Structure 1
C-alpha cells in the first residue's frame, strides 16, 4: 500500500536561513528528535558539502526510535539537491519498498513556506507507518517553527 502525505509550515525566516537549517546535519538531527535519531558520519556537517551523484547513496545511517530502539538502516540517497530551493531524497530503507521525501522551500509574504511531500510503500504495517509518519513530520515542523520563532 502506497502512502502519500504532505506537511506544510510557514517560517518567519528568509529562504537563505531556512535553506541552511534544512541542509545542516545538526539542525536536521534536532528537527528529528525526540522521535528518531539518525546516525551520520562525523565528517559530514552539511548536505551541500557532499559530492552528490543523483541516485547514488551518500552514506548508510542507523535509525533509532526515541534514540533507543533500532529500526534499521537508511542508505541516504539524493535524487536532487537544488540550492536554496529543496531536495528529493529516495533512500533504500529497512522496511520500505519505497521511500521518497521531497522538501521544498518557497518564499512567501510571511517568510518561507516549507513543504514536505512523502510517498512511501512500507513492507508491512501501513497503518502504523502512516500514523508514525504523521506524528514524526508534525513534530519536525513544530521544531522548525520553534526555531524560526526564536529569531529576533
Structure 2
C-alpha cells in the first residue's frame, strides 16, 4: 500500500500584448515575481536572487530559501529553490522543496507571437505527508495553486495588456 500523496499538475497559458524581451525582464526579476503574486502573497527574495534576475543565474544554482507571506505579512510557507534549467529569454525551470510540498517543479516558457508573448506555466507538485494524506487536502492545495497561477496570469495581462 502506497502512503505517499500523488503528484498533481497545473497548466496555465495566456497571451500578453508585449514583446518577449519585455515580458522576460519582468517575469524573471524579484520585483516582477512579487507583482504577479500581489495582493495575495509576497515572496521574500532568496539569498541567491538578491540583486539579480533569473537570467543572470547559472543552471543548477541553489538560490536559497524564500518565505511566502500571506497578504504580504503572515508567514505561511517557505521554499528552498534551485534554478534547474534556463534558456535565457525564453524558459526556466525551478525545482524546490517547501514546508507543505515535498517536490515542486515550475517551468515557465515564453513564446513570441509577433509583438505579443505567450506565457506558459507548467507546475508539478507532490504534497508533503502527512498533510497530503488528509482526505481532500491535495485537491484543496491544487485548487489554491491553480487559482494563484491564474491570478498571476491575470496580473501579467493587467501589466502588459491582453
TM-score under structure 2 length normalisation:
0.84
User: Structure 1: where are the runs of 5+ without partners?
Assistant: none
Indicate the structure (1 or 2) with the bigger Cα radius of gyration: 2
Aligned counterparts of 2:93 and 2:11: Cα–Cα separation in 1 = 14
2:87 aligned with 1:75? no
Would the aligned equivalents of 1:26 and 1:45 in 2 still touch at CA under 8 Å? no
Would the aligned equivalents of 1:57 and 1:91 in 2 still touch at CA under 8 Å? no
Aligned counterparts of 2:44 and 2:94: Cα–Cα separation in 1 = 16
TM-score under structure 1 length normalisation:
0.89
Q: How many residues align?
A: 148
The Cα offsets for residues 81-116 of structure 1, whole Å up to 9 and x where unpaired, read as 211111000012111111000000011146110000
> Once the 2 structures are TM-superposed, how far is the Cα of residue 23 of structure 1 from its aligned partner?
1.0
The partner residue of 1:49 within 53, 56, 59 is 56
RMSD: 1.8
1:13: which partner in 2?
A: 18
Aligned counterparts of 2:50 and 2:16: Cα–Cα separation in 1 = 29
Structure 1 segments of 4 or more deviating over 3 A? none
The partner residue of 2:103 within 85, 89, 98 is 98
User: Structure 2: where are the runs of 5+ without partners?
Assistant: 1-5
The partner residue of 2:142 within 101, 105, 130 is 130
